[in-house]
Structure formats: structure tokens, C-alpha cells
Amino acid sequence: MPSTEDIDTTGISRYSIPDFKFLDGSSLTIEVAYRSFNPSAAKVVCIPTCYGGRINNTLNFTSGALKDYHVVVIAMLGNGESTSPSNTAEGQFPQLDYQDVVKSQYQLLTQHLAVRELEAVIGFSMGAQQAFYWACMYPDFMKVSIPICGSAKTSPHNWAFLEGPKGALLNSVDYADGAYRAKGVNPTRGLHAFGRAYCAWAMSAAWFREKIWQKELGFETVDQFIVAEWERSFESWDPEDLLVLARMWQAADVGVLRKDGDYTKALENVKARVLVMPARTDQYFPPEDSEIEVKHLKHGELAVLETIWGHIGGGGANDADTEWMDKKIAAFLKQ
């Protein structure tokens, strides 16, 4: 679930990249926000943020599987911490692509932190899609890729899901066709509609049937849960940040890195060992899609998270799922 708090800046640093070239041909001086954990460790792991994620609420495994690693959690461009529409002059932020995001992270790691090799890139959801792009864009720079609840190419079903919350926001009265900034309005109604349209997809039908919102989260009704955890949670987000990231998510396809556009061949050329971890009840990135992708990886392994928590099970929503993932990651890194 997205954070209900304003941005926590504890431990966060920023790296400026002058005249950064975006895929669409535009240039902009950007800042990449990040946080280093255990920076004296020799082996480095990169963890990019997910959709609705901030650096300090990103599951980082630093108390378990990654306790002996230098872990760098990086805010992807567009998330409100790194350069984004919300902190850029109106109209100057380009349409974002995963290639831009991963390139900016590579420059941060190599030019600023002097990292020569990554032990792994680990990411959840949109972070998982970044992990796939990392493996395809910089095949000789990393040993391991661990995408959790994500895909190398966004499916048509996933694309269609995102049209729901996007449409709720875009058509809200207070979003005003994007003129909310000029009017000095915080489009709360649109942000609430976005969260309400998003909510049911994040968990599974079984999660709702078993009333986990009541038994474990303490809400008396589903509506109370939606208001507290999904409407209010997006109040701290700028609409344009949400939209630029959603469009990038929809466009995800590592096949664009090849002239022939074949994403299966892009996966076949991945040199890293890849641990693909979908959740059994994920409605965005079902395990059936992951099974197809693993077949095209030379060094791929599939480990399905058996959970009723749906997509958010892979993001640290409950201790049991987090412990299972932690053990899988630790064992895979030791191979």
C-alpha cells in the first residue's frame, strides 16, 4: 500500500546530473535521491523504489538477507523524491521511460558512488520492472537480478487495470484537465478517486473474503479501510507524478532495447542469474506471466510466493511473506 505519510527525508542524499539526456531527446538537470545502508560493505545491492513507494518505506532486507551488503535504495525519477513533474517547472518534465530511470541510477552508482559492479538489483512491482531493465541494459555490470511481483513487459490486462485509476484522476473536477496548479488547488477528490479505483486490485479476492482488513488491520468495514489506506494515502502525491509513473509502467517492455522489438530475445540475452518471485494471487503480475518469462532466461529460477495478500504481499505488507522472501533472497545470493 502507498505511504500515508509525507516524504520522510531521513538519511536521504541527492546526486545532481547536469544536462541529463532523456530518451525522448530532451535534456534537463536532474537530481537522483538515494539512501545508502551499510556503505562500508564491499558488495553492493541496488533497490529501486516501486509505484507509490518512497525511499524510507521501501522493503530493503537490510536486517536479514542483505545485512552484510552495501544497499543503495534509489528513488526512481518521477516518484517525488528524485526529479519529478512535482518539483520541475510546469511543462518541462519529459515523458518518462524506464531507460531514463535506469540510466540515471547507473550514473549515480558509477560516477558518484564509484561502484564498479553490482551484486544484485532487487525490486518490487515497478522496482521489479527496473530490475529486468537493469539486466538487459547493463548485462556485465550485475551478477543477480531479483524482480518481485513484476514483469519484463506489461501485459494488456495490467495496462487495462491502470486505465481505471488514471481515468478516475484525469476526469475529476478538481484535477481540472491538469490546470489544478494554475488554480492553486490540491485535487483531493481526484486523488481519492484514484486510490478508490486502485484499491481492489492490490489484494486478492481471498484477502477480502477472509476479512483481513478487519482481522489484521483493525478496520470495521471495507469502506473504512479504503478511506484510510487508499484515499488518504495518495493525498501526499502530486497527480502528475502518479500519471507519469503509470504511463511508464504501462509502456514497460524490454523488447524496445532491441531493433527487432522481441522481448523474449532480450530475456534470452540476460547474463545475470535471475530469481523471479511472483505472488500466487497477484492480479497485476500473475505467476503465469512469470512462468513464461522464466522460460526465456538462461539462468532463471521461479519462486512463487504463496500468499492471499495479492500484489502487496511482495512489498512487505505482512511479516510471514517478508520472511519467506528474505530466506529465498539469502539462499539465491549464496549460490
Q: Is the pLDDT of residue 302 over 60?
A: yes
Q: Would you state the pLDDT for residue 1?
A: 61
- Rounded to the nearest 10°, the torsion over CA 307, 313, 318, 323 is 80
From the CB of residue 158, how many other CB atoms can be counted at a distance below 10 Å? 21
Confidence at residue 5, expressed as pLDDT on a 0 to 100 scale = 56
| Mean pLDDT, residues 268-273 taken together | 98
1: Cβ–Cβ under 8 A, 6 or more apart, which residues? Answer: 52, 202, 229, 230, 233, 312, 315, 317
Q: What is the pTM of this model?
A: 0.97
Helix crossing, 98-107 with 126-137: angle to 10°?
70
Task: Give the percent of the chain with pLDDT over 90.
Answer: 97
Taking residues 264-283, what's their average pLDDT?
A: 98
pLDDT band at residue 12 under the 50/70/90 scheme? very high
Reported confidence tier of residue 7, pLDDT bands at 50, 70, 90: confident
pLDDT confidence of residue 91: 86
Asked whether residue 2 carries a pLDDT value surpassing 70, the answer given is: no
- Using 50, 70 and 90 to split pLDDT, how confident is the model at 90? confident
Strand boundaries in 38-136, DSSP class E? 44-48, 70-74, 118-124
Question: Are 146 and 157 a contacting pair, CB within 8 Å?
Answer: no
* 132 pLDDT above the threshold of 80: yes
Q: Does residue 151 surpass a pLDDT of 90?
A: yes
DSSP three-state, residue 48: strand
CB 145 within 8 A of CB 121: yes
CA 17 – CA 21 distance, rounded (Å): 10
Q: In 3D, which of 178, 173, 72, 65 has the Cα closest to residue 121? A: 72
3 pLDDT band (50/70/90 cuts)?
low
Reference 272, options 297, 293, 296, 253; nearest CA is 297
Mean pLDDT of 192-209: 97
Block residue for cell numbers 536486517: 63
Output the CA–CA distances (angstroms, integers) from residue 175 to 95, 178, 251, in the order listed.
19, 6, 23
Angle of helix 156-170 versus helix 188-202 axis, rounded to 10: 160
Report pLDDT digits (tens) over 25-77. 999 999 999 999 999 999 999 999 999 999 999 999 999 999 999 999 999 99
Q: Name the phi and psi angles at 116, rounded to 5.
A: -100, -20
Q: In what helix (H) or strand (E) does residue 239 lie, and over which residues does it extend? A: helix 239-250
What's the CA gap between 89 and 181, in Å, rounded?
A: 11
CA distance 255 to 238: 30
